[in-house]
């Protein structure tokens, strides 16, 4: 999927069309990331819960080592 970058500058007006274009790009990127079709497999960090609550510091540090 291609995406045409929007070049915003001071004084430009945000239109619904430009915002919807960005939303469509974000949604497409999210869909590709979730399906593993965005150029690489989606993998988790071994040993990390990834639930947003558990302290995954040790697992993340080990993954970076």
Q: Domain map of the chain by residue range?
A: 16-64
pLDDT in tens, 18-30: 999 999 988 888 8
| pTM summary value | 0.46
Rounding to the nearest 10 degrees, give the CA dihedral for residues 53, 44, 31, 13: 60
pLDDT in tens, 37-55: 555 555 677 788 877 888 8
Contact 46, 59 (CB under 8 A): yes
Q: Give the integer Cα–Cα distance in Å for 6 and 25.
A: 11
């Amino acid at each position: 999927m291609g995406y045409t970058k929007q070049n915003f500058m001071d004084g430009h007006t945000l239109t619904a069309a430009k915002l919807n274009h960005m939303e469509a790009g974000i949604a497409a990127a999210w869909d590709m990331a979730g399906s593993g079709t965005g150029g690489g497999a989606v993998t988790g960090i071994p040993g990390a819960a990834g639930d947003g609550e558990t302290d995954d510091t040790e697992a993340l540090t080990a993954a970076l080592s």
